[in-house]
Structure 1
Amino acid sequence: MTLEFVRDFKSHKIVPDVIPVPPSALLHISYPDEQKVNLGNILMPKQVKDIPEVQWTVEPNTYYTLCMTDPDAPSRNAPKFREWHHWLVGNIPGTDLERGDVLSEYIGAAPPKKTGLHRYVFLVYQQSGKLNFSEPRLSNRSSQGRGKFSIQKFSEKYQLGVPVAGNFFQAQFDEYVPKLYRQLGQFQNGF
């Protein structure tokens, strides 16, 4: 892990807002149209509306948990819904997301109007084996059950330890966000 990598997680306050220590490796995330996540770069919601390709270094015969979370809901200045998780998949064999247990279906970035930049944090945890998750399965057609999440508490509950890989981008409101709110059954400006 480079010092720059650690510095970026700390300078953007992901440490301590989301996790107590930075992950040990960089998570590689690519959206369609070659949009890549790169330690706090700015991407627009319309660029991250589809499920990305996610890659990390794996150990053989090992399961992983992947999370995408927004600690800035509804804004960085007033994060009363911290964290609002956008994606949660457990029991991923290696990096084969399609074979993992989807606990929360993917929802792209959806920062409300006039709330500035939100941080969208991706973290991968190595599991000690296959787990039985007790969380309800959440659809990408509703926002219910996504707010006031804590990946740190989730990690502690399932004894996942510290993340083995991570990355993040920032986004602010664009014209795609109202479409996503309609998909989620949200008619207000935000969650």
Structure 2
Amino acid sequence: MKLLGAVLVTLTLLLPGAWGSQETRTCVFQSLTEEDRKFCRGDLEIIYPEVGDVGCTYIPKCHGYRQRLSLEWGEPRVRFPRAKKNMKYVLVMVDPDAPNRAEPSLQFWRHWMVTDIPGLDLRVGNVDGKVLTAYTRPKPPRHSGYHRYQFHLYMQPAGEIIELSDEERDSLGTFNLEEFAEVFDLGRPVATTQFITKNYED
């Protein structure tokens, strides 16, 4: 599916007149390193306008994609085809590289958290649940290098009511994801993926 999306984007960019008078260029969707690819498991799809599923890729700079990701595009569609229709799920999006990957003193920076997501909705790419942290666009600081944006999908235990503490609500940084999962008995994520980007002006 990801490969098909990349092919379609490439074909669109190569079509005569597709971008008016602009110079036609091919966008290259670079795959992650072997180390970073290990994080991607479970076929979780993260779908943004124009670029499609960005799981396990770098966001290319061409055609302003990094700028649009940071300034224009809202929350992505998140699709998990293997979701159990009668179960609920918890989605957490974090940046483990805040303020930079070399010294991530603010990891994990929480960008989005939704609980009580029906499995039936996840199958078709709808994240319709209880929003504990509203979506904030990825905006890596200038000259901070590449940042990973990670998505953790957990199956929510039946009857479990999940809340953030007052301290967690007050600050998006230094979020202890492992402790959060342990407190609410979430176990290991059923699926994880990530994309990598950096400041669009760098």
TM-score by shorter chain over 0.5: yes
Residue 85 (structure 1) shift: 0.9
In structure 1, what residue type is equivalent to 2:190? V
CA offsets 1:58-115 (integer angstroms, 9 cap, x no match): 11310100011000001001111011010000111112422x1100000111100100
Q: Which runs of 5+ in 2 are unaligned?
A: 1-31, 61-65
Matches within 5 A, 1:1-191: 11-12=35-36, 22=39, 24-43=41-60, 44-47=66-69, 49-56=73-80, 57-94=82-119, 95=122, 96-98=126-128, 100-135=129-164, 144-174=170-200
Residue 132 (structure 1) shift: 1.6
Task: Give the distance between the partners of 1:28 and 1:35, measured in 2 at CA.
Answer: 9
Number of aligned pairs? 156
Task: Give the distance between the partners of 1:45 and 1:127, measured in 2 at CA.
Answer: 34
Residue 26 (structure 1) shift: 1.9
Number of the residue aligned with 1:184: none
Residue 42 (structure 1) shift: 2.5
Write out the 4+ residue segments of structure 1 that deviate beyond 3 Å after TM superposition. Answer: none
CA offsets 1:4-30 (integer angstroms, 9 cap, x no match): xxxx69702x97xxxxxx575121111
Residue 165 (structure 1) shift: 1.1
Residue 33 (structure 1) shift: 1.5
Cα 1:23–1:31 shift into 2, 3 Å: closer
Q: Which has the larger radius of gyration?
A: 2
Cα 1:117–1:31 shift into 2, 3 Å: same
- Any conservation in 2 of the 1:69–1:85 contact (CA below 8 Å)? yes
Cα 1:10–1:163 shift into 2, 3 Å: farther
- Any conservation in 2 of the 1:45–1:171 contact (CA below 8 Å)? no
Moved more, 151-160 or 34-43: 34-43
Percent identity between the two aligned chains: 32
Question: Normalising to structure 1: TM-score of the pair?
Answer: 0.72
Task: Give secondary structure in 2 for the equivalent of 1:30.
Answer: strand
Structure with greater contact order relative to length (CA < 8 Å, sep ≥ 6): 1
Question: Normalising to structure 2: TM-score of the pair?
Answer: 0.69
Residue 154 (structure 1) shift: 1.3
Q: Which runs of 5+ in 1 are unaligned?
A: 1-7, 16-21, 138-142, 176-191
RMSD: 2.6
Cα 1:78–1:166 shift into 2, 3 Å: same
